Structure 1
Amino acid sequence: MRAVVAVLLFVTAVHAGLWGIFRDKEQAPDFTGLLPSVSYAPFEGTAHPDVDNIPNADKIRADMKKLSTMTRAIRLYSSTGGVEMVPPIAAEFGLKVTVGAWIDKNADRNEREIQSAINLAKRNSNVIGIVVGNETIYRGEQKVDDLIELIKRVKKSVNVPVTTGEIWNIWRDNPQLAYSVDFIAAHVLPYWENFSDTQAVDQAVYIYQLLRDKFPGKRIMIAEFGWPSQGYNLRNADPGPFEQAVVLRNFVSRAEAIGMEYNIVEAIDQPWKFFEGGVGPYWGILNAAREPKFSWTGPVVNENYWKLAAVALLVGILLSLPILRLNRPTVMQSLVLSAAANGVGAWVATVFAYWTDHYFVFGSAFALTLGLILLVPLVLIAMARIEEIAAIALGRSPRRLLVNGHSEGLAVAGNATTFPKVSIHIPAYFEPPEMLKQTLDAISRLDYPNFECVVIINNTPDPEFWQPIQDHCRALGERFKFINAEQVKGFKAGALRIAMDRTAADAEIIGIIDADYVVQPNWLKELVPVFADPRVGLMQAPQDHRDGDRSLMHYIMNGEYAGFFDIGMVQRNEANAIIVHGTMCLIRRAAMDMAGGWAGDTICEDTDLGLAIIEHGWLTHYTNTRYGHGLLPDTYEAYKKQRHRWAYGGFQIVKKHWRRFLPGASRLSPDQRREFTLGWLNWLGAESLGVLVAILNLIWVPIVAFADIAIPDKILTLPIIAAFVVSLVHFLVLYRLRVHIKAGQMLGAMIAAMSVQWTVSRAVAQGLITEHLPFARTSKGGLSRMSIEFQAFWEAVIGVLLLVGAVVLVVMNNSKQVREIYVFAAVLVLESLPFLSAVAIATLETSRLNAFAFWRNSAVRTAELIGLRPVTMPTAIGASPPVTSDIHREVN
């Protein structure tokens, strides 16, 4: 334990050191004077000024008091809607004012703006100029000649300089506009022109000189220069708090040195400008709370950096504490888990920083909140998978696992001195008789002296299905009991209850196998001795299949099933928290009676009973030795229906048992509660979350692509990518370590596992709105016909839409090259993979590629074509036998 504590302290120290190493500190010229002018808008909150955002005199007075310590003048953009209060209040603090008149296509409003601007200039001696319109020509809301007429009109009415505010190239391209104003008020915003923060100041100085050369003798003012502190990159332009501070301090230093007139945009962040994209609200040198965003002297640093580091370290430590409860963790195992915990801590700190440094309208706040709510279980799932990777790859070997009847953690196993009676129950419903006969024949060959077999065929009135089985049971002898029960309620559980009524009174152990399972002779001989420990209530062996060579689809299905039994079940067994799966299962009769027997209120009666037995404190054991082999689902449709039944039944069990997971409600240990909770979250939750997040992202695509606002930030998209990578590593590493299959089958198993995401999510959704669905038998034995319907229609629709969404995002983003949009597009592609996997398997099932003969013939033909094997030359009927000829031999 001391070694584990040392590892946790070491990882925490490394984490703290990384925060120290990566702390940003930038150098920039100091500025100790007053800025000549800053743009000011007296609005607060996220409401647009035209809707409901009327300033009041007290707020304006507080702003002017604050700004008077930072600037000599302010620039306004309007003269109505409460803004007209600013000039007289500014005068109280010695601030000069450049008045603005907002000009657009609304003639009535334009008239009110012009009259108010004129009146403000006449009545307030601190007004030093009027700007008629702001980027009016750039927005296409006025023609140049019409704007010139408005400027001339204002010039005639006031004694202060009059101009208009336009982007610098508008001035360059419209010299008549420049000659009509008293001075040129040029907007130079390098961010919007895709210049990087290191190029921004040089670009502004270059434009300033260009305008001076273009209009010699004309007064030139850079009426807008700034850099956003948050938002998204625009090609090479990266916003950020450090970038803003360095750019503005460098600009002011250069401007003062060359005598440039300038105005900084803007004084205070304007959250209502969310319609200007991600950067719109973040141009202020003060935040919306009127606090400075950076210092104008000294190194540029993040004042809250160490607070964020403390949050990251604290979360990392808290998430690392459960490692201390693990059973004999190794040093490397603890190292990986602690590193993952601290990684989550760093992400939490990033989320905290984002939340505190950004402004949210209702839509963006809702989207971020919903995204974080969905990410919490996603992060928990990823952590659980990392823990499983660490346990299997770096932890200690399993102690409770039975291998060929023996286990390190069992005192008695595989050493039968007594033979308690076992009653083997085989429920059957419309099962192929020949298949069931093979199952019974295998039972008859068991190397165990004391057993009986109860075969119950339920709700199968057709004698072609039950009569041959009845006859076969008679032929096999008195050990085999046959029951043909009709109108049985409670699905499979109802049939098993009837079988219990016909079970021998002296049977101590109940064995359950499916009708398609052929068991090995040593099944009971090697596993029954486990019950010599009176605390053991249940012994589970894995499922396996004997028809994996039917087709390529069945081959990969078989590989997919194997993962659960060789990985998950082995690990759960260490915590005495296995999942009972209804075949190859041995149950102590006393444990079954204590748990209430077979319940018919779920369609996964086996898992339900197993959990009830565990809740009563019985021990369970598991072996990954194959003692029986069944049949795979006949079709992909049957495979999906089986998975749907398991998921729906699993969700029923969650609803039925969750109260027993509360403290003191059952004899479940903390480890058992944890295993079952994480197991459900890892299976039902992961698949459902995957579909839900994919659909929500699809809805978000047009907002990102066309509305140009609120695109997902990396705190939402990168965790999705990280979770996908963890899932991929989890699958590949654990399969390579625990599941003994070839690489090709492993790849196919991964595709098969992903292909049921939509199926499982549908089952969970139905579990939320319904109480009971009918039991759906899995078609096996080759009697079912393939449906003519395409078995992955909705998966194809969603998968294609996700790919189309990714393409749309990339195409629409080509001009901006916002990195977060590319990341979002990549997320959509990743999210499409499970849906496309279903499409691939459904297509494979009906393709020639599904047949192994096709691949064997293709290999032979390829070998013949490249000369690796001789070619048999065809002959005519009645001719002499064919002659094998070497295709490389020269023919004379």
Structure 2
Amino acid sequence: MRVVAAVLLLVSALHAGLWGVLRDKEPAPDFRGLLPSVSYAPFEGSAHPDIDNIPTVEKIRADLKTLSTMTRAIRLYSSTGGVELVPAIAAEFGLKVTVGAWIDKDKDRNEREIKAAIELARKNSNVVGVVVGNEVIYRGEQKVEDLIDMIKKVKGSVRVPVTTGEIWNIWRDNPDLASNVDFIAAHVLPYWENFRSDQAVDQAVDRYNLLRNLFPGKRIVIAEFGWPSQGYNLRNADPGPFQQALTLRNFVSRAEAIGMEYNIVEAIDQPWKFFEGGVGPYWGILNASREPKFAWTGPVENPDYWKLMTIALLVGVLLSLPILRLQQPTAKQAFLLSATANGVGAWAATVFAFWNGHYFIFGSAFALTLGMILLVPLVLIAMARIDEIAAVAFGRPPQRLLAKSKPVENVPENYYPKVSIHIPAYFEPVEMLKQTLDALSRLNYPNYECVVIINNTPDPAFWQPIQDHCRALGERFKFINAEKVQGFKAGALRIAMDRTAVDAEIIGILDADYVVDPDWLKDLVPAFADPRVGLVQAPQEHRDGDLSIMHYIMNGEYAGFFDIGMVQRNEANAIIVHGTMCLIRRAAMDMAGGWSSDTICEDSDLGLAIQELGWVTHYTNHRYGQGLLPDTYEAFKKQRHRWAYGGLQIVKKHWRHFLPGRSRLTPDQKREYGLGWLNWLGAESLGVVVALLNLVWVPIVAFADIAIPDKILTLPIIGAFVVSLAHFLSMYRARVAIKPGQMLGAMIAAMSVQWTVSRAVAQGLITEHIAFARTSKGGLSRMSIEFQAFWEAVIGALLLIGAGVLIASNSFRQITEIYIFAGVLVLQSLPFLAAVAIAILELSRINSFQFWRDSAIRTAELIGLRPVALPTPAGTPQAVPNEVRREAN
């Protein structure tokens, strides 16, 4: 354990070192004076000024007191709605004011704004200019000649310089406008022109010089220059707090050096500007709480950097502590787990920084909160999968696994307790069930009986031959034909228990399609010599995997559960019981209440109840029997639906037993079951919920230009997918003896049931019980004429279309987050498309192995690797190959 503790300390130290190495810290010119002017809007919160955001005198006074220590003047954009209070209060702090008149398409409002601006300029001696309109020509809300008329009207009414605020190219392209203003108020905002932050100052100076050359002798003022501290990139433009600080400090230094007049946009962040895209609220040099975002002297760095590092390290350490509870973990195993925990800690710090550095209206706050609620279990699932990778790849080999090569120790001589094997059957193919009974008759075990119960099968063609066959096999075989059985399979098994020999100590459960190995009982019953053992489970296997490509990949998918998950769960005495190839101590079954019909997974329900009573369970991954795969993809999905629905029923039935003191379950057992349910039921359901929510979000992102999912929400989805892929491939390579092609097919089959499982979970949340659905096996079922992946095809297509829409709508802006979001949609479409692929495969000729064999022969014949046997006319002597002639000679 000391080694493990040392590993945890090492990983934490490396994590801290990475934070130290990756810390951004760059020199920038110091600025110790006062800025010549900053844009000021006296509004707070996310409410639009035209709706309900009227500033108060007290708030304006507090703002201007703060700004008076930073600037000599302020620029306003309106003269009504409470802004008219600003000039008089600004005079109290010695601040000059450039008044603004907001101009748009509303004539009445324009008149009110112009009148108010004129009045403010006349009454307040600290007003040094009037700006009539802000980018109205750029927005197309006024014609140039009409705006000139407004400017002339104001010029004739005030004694201060009058102009309008426009982007630099509007001035360049409209010399008449320039000739009718007292000075040129040019907006140079390199972000909106797709320049990088390190190019912004050069671009601003270049535009300034261009205007000076175009209008010699005219006063040129850069009336807006700034850089956003948060938001999304616009092509090459890269917003951020670090970029804002460097850009503004470099700009101020250059501007002061060349004598440029300028105004910084803006003084204080404006959360209500969320409609201007992701960067709208974040142009201020103060945040909405009126706190400085950066220092104007010293190196540029994140003042909260060490706080974030502390959060990341604390979360990483807390998530690493459970490693100390593991049974003898190896150093490599501990390293991978601790590295994962610290990675999650770094993500948590990033989330905190995002939450702390952004302003949220209700919609974006709701989206982020919902996203985090969904992402937390997704991250836990990814951590659980990495835990399994670490255990299998770097941990100790399984210690509790029953192996055929290692007989059970301390077994009394001649230990042969009686076993009663129960085989429930419902409309099962006769010949298939006969094979099952014949295999049982060959068991290499002296003390057993077989109870065959045909339930709810009135057709004599299905039960009469089985009754005769049982008689032929001898007195070991008991036959029951029960009609109107209540409780599905569990009801039939309860009847079988009533006919069980009184001296039977162990109950064996076998599905009607299983052909068992003669050594099944001989090898596994000795485990019951330990009186603590209540249950021994063997894996399922299938003998018809070569029936088609679809069956081949389904068989590979089943193998993963029995060779990976069950083996690992067995180490914690927390196996999932499945209703075949299972041996149960009768006393344990009686204590657990026997077979219950209140779930449709009566086997897993009983197994968990036995473990809750403290019984020990064992598992072997040796195949002691082979059954049949579901006949069709429809049957495969119905079986998975039943398992998922029954699994949720078990969660709802047993969750109280996971509370402290409510059962004899160990912490490790509770952990395995909890993570197992989350990993299976939760992962599939979360995948579908997140995919559907993302579909809803596509038009908002593509057309509303707001609420683009940040990387903290999208990258974890990609990371979880990568972890799932790595988990599948690494676990299969380590534990499942199948070929790469079958492994790929198994992965597709596993993904293809995501929609099925999620539907079952949703149905389980709103209903209490559904009818037991028998899995069609043995070739009696017919393939449905309905396409078995209709809804998967619809959702998969919509996800791909959504990704295409996002990419197309992002062609101009090239926002990185949108491309990542589109990539997420493509990844989320894969499980749905996997279902479509299997459904199409089932209906096509390529599903047949014979098709591929014939294709290989035809290909070999076409390229000359195989001679073609041509037909010869009747009566024509056939040519004798040269090889035959040589042998004859």
CA deviations on 1:494-529 (whole Å, 9 max, x unpaired) are 000000000000000000000000000000000000
- The alignment partner of 2:822 has SS state of helix
**CA distance, structure 2, for counterparts of residue 576 and residue 94 of structure 1:** 78
1:193 aligns with 2:190: no
- How much does 1:51 deviate? 1.1
Partner of 1:357: 357
**CA distance, structure 1, for counterparts of residue 677 and residue 46 of structure 2:** 41
Quickly say closer, same or farther: Cα 1:882–1:857, change in 2 above 3 A. Answer: farther
**CA distance, structure 2, for counterparts of residue 555 and residue 416 of structure 1:** 43
TM-score calculated relative to the size of structure 1: 0.98
1:92 aligns with 2:92: yes
Partner of 1:483: 480
Partner of 2:699: 702
- The alignment partner of 1:198 has SS state of helix
* Residue among 799, 809, 813 paired with 1:812: 809
Partner of 2:540: 543
Partner of 1:336: 336
CA deviations on 1:3-23 (whole Å, 9 max, x unpaired) are 000000000000000000000
Which amino acid in the other structure matches residue 237 of structure 1? A
1:795 aligns with 2:792: yes
Partner of 2:424: 427
- The alignment partner of 1:77 has SS state of coil
- The alignment partner of 1:500 has SS state of helix
**CA distance, structure 1, for counterparts of residue 620 and residue 276 of structure 2:** 62
Which amino acid in the other structure matches residue 597 of structure 2? G
Pairing of 1:138-149 with structure 2 (within 5 A): 138-149=138-149
Which amino acid in the other structure matches residue 515 of structure 1? A
Which amino acid in the other structure matches residue 289 of structure 1? S
- The alignment partner of 1:872 has SS state of coil
- How much does 1:860 deviate? 1.5
Partner of 2:738: 741
- The alignment partner of 1:806 has SS state of helix
Kept in 2, the 8 Å contact 1:422–1:508? The answer is yes
Kept in 2, the 8 Å contact 1:509–1:587? The answer is yes
**CA distance, structure 2, for counterparts of residue 15 and residue 245 of structure 1:** 27
**CA distance, structure 1, for counterparts of residue 713 and residue 500 of structure 2:** 57
**CA distance, structure 1, for counterparts of residue 68 and residue 865 of structure 2:** 89
- The alignment partner of 1:157 has SS state of coil
CA deviations on 1:215-254 (whole Å, 9 max, x unpaired) are 1111110000000000111111100001000000000000
Partner of 2:886: none
**CA distance, structure 1, for counterparts of residue 151 and residue 434 of structure 2:** 99
Pairing of 1:192-341 with structure 2 (within 5 A): 192-341=192-341
Partner of 2:680: 683
1:724 aligns with 2:721: yes
- The alignment partner of 2:185 has SS state of strand
Partner of 2:156: 156
Partner of 2:392: 392
Partner of 1:468: 465
- How much does 1:861 deviate? 1.7
- How much does 1:441 deviate? 0.4
Kept in 2, the 8 Å contact 1:416–1:525? The answer is no
- The alignment partner of 1:43 has SS state of coil
- How much does 1:553 deviate? 0.2
Partner of 2:751: 754
1:581 aligns with 2:568: no
**CA distance, structure 1, for counterparts of residue 757 and residue 396 of structure 2:** 33
Which amino acid in the other structure matches residue 145 of structure 2? D
Partner of 1:890: none
CA deviations on 1:814-868 (whole Å, 9 max, x unpaired) are 1111111111110000000000000000000001110001111111222222222
**CA distance, structure 2, for counterparts of residue 316 and residue 507 of structure 1:** 53
- How much does 1:877 deviate? 5.1
Quickly say closer, same or farther: Cα 1:877–1:561, change in 2 above 3 A. Answer: farther
1:615 aligns with 2:612: yes
**CA distance, structure 1, for counterparts of residue 665 and residue 334 of structure 2:** 26
Which amino acid in the other structure matches residue 38 of structure 1? V
Q: Which runs of 5+ in 2 are unaligned?
A: 884-889
**CA distance, structure 1, for counterparts of residue 327 and residue 863 of structure 2:** 57
1:631 aligns with 2:628: yes
- The alignment partner of 2:623 has SS state of coil
- The alignment partner of 1:181 has SS state of coil
Partner of 1:494: 491
- How much does 1:869 deviate? 2.5
Which amino acid in the other structure matches residue 501 of structure 2? A
- The alignment partner of 1:199 has SS state of helix
1:594 aligns with 2:605: no
Which amino acid in the other structure matches residue 184 of structure 2? I
**CA distance, structure 1, for counterparts of residue 202 and residue 413 of structure 2:** 88
- How much does 1:870 deviate? 2.4
- How much does 1:27 deviate? 1.1
**CA distance, structure 2, for counterparts of residue 555 and residue 575 of structure 1:** 31
Quickly say closer, same or farther: Cα 1:694–1:876, change in 2 above 3 A. Answer: farther
Partner of 1:42: 42
- How much does 1:879 deviate? 4.6
Q: Which runs of 5+ in 1 are unaligned?
A: 887-892
**CA distance, structure 1, for counterparts of residue 304 and residue 441 of structure 2:** 75
CA deviations on 1:189-210 (whole Å, 9 max, x unpaired) are 0000000011100000000000
- How much does 1:885 deviate? 9.5
- The alignment partner of 1:54 has SS state of coil
**CA distance, structure 2, for counterparts of residue 879 and residue 548 of structure 1:** 46
Kept in 2, the 8 Å contact 1:576–1:620? The answer is yes
Quickly say closer, same or farther: Cα 1:885–1:615, change in 2 above 3 A. Answer: farther
- The alignment partner of 2:806 has SS state of helix
CA deviations on 1:520-540 (whole Å, 9 max, x unpaired) are 000000000000000000000
- How much does 1:403 deviate? 1.2
**CA distance, structure 2, for counterparts of residue 255 and residue 627 of structure 1:** 83
Pairing of 1:167-178 with structure 2 (within 5 A): 167-178=167-178
CA deviations on 1:628-653 (whole Å, 9 max, x unpaired) are 00000000000000000000000000
Moved over 3 A (4+): 410-413, 876-886
Partner of 2:840: 843
Quickly say closer, same or farther: Cα 1:192–1:638, change in 2 above 3 A. Answer: same
Kept in 2, the 8 Å contact 1:311–1:345? The answer is yes
**CA distance, structure 1, for counterparts of residue 25 and residue 863 of structure 2:** 64
**CA distance, structure 2, for counterparts of residue 680 and residue 876 of structure 1:** 69
**CA distance, structure 1, for counterparts of residue 264 and residue 877 of structure 2:** 99
- The alignment partner of 1:464 has SS state of helix
- The alignment partner of 2:420 has SS state of strand
- How much does 1:871 deviate? 2.4
- The alignment partner of 1:97 has SS state of strand
Partner of 1:889: none
Which amino acid in the other structure matches residue 46 of structure 1? S
Kept in 2, the 8 Å contact 1:405–1:527? The answer is no
**CA distance, structure 1, for counterparts of residue 391 and residue 522 of structure 2:** 31
**CA distance, structure 1, for counterparts of residue 544 and residue 875 of structure 2:** 41
CA deviations on 1:704-747 (whole Å, 9 max, x unpaired) are 11111120000000000000000000000000000000000000
Quickly say closer, same or farther: Cα 1:288–1:882, change in 2 above 3 A. Answer: farther
Kept in 2, the 8 Å contact 1:26–1:242? The answer is no
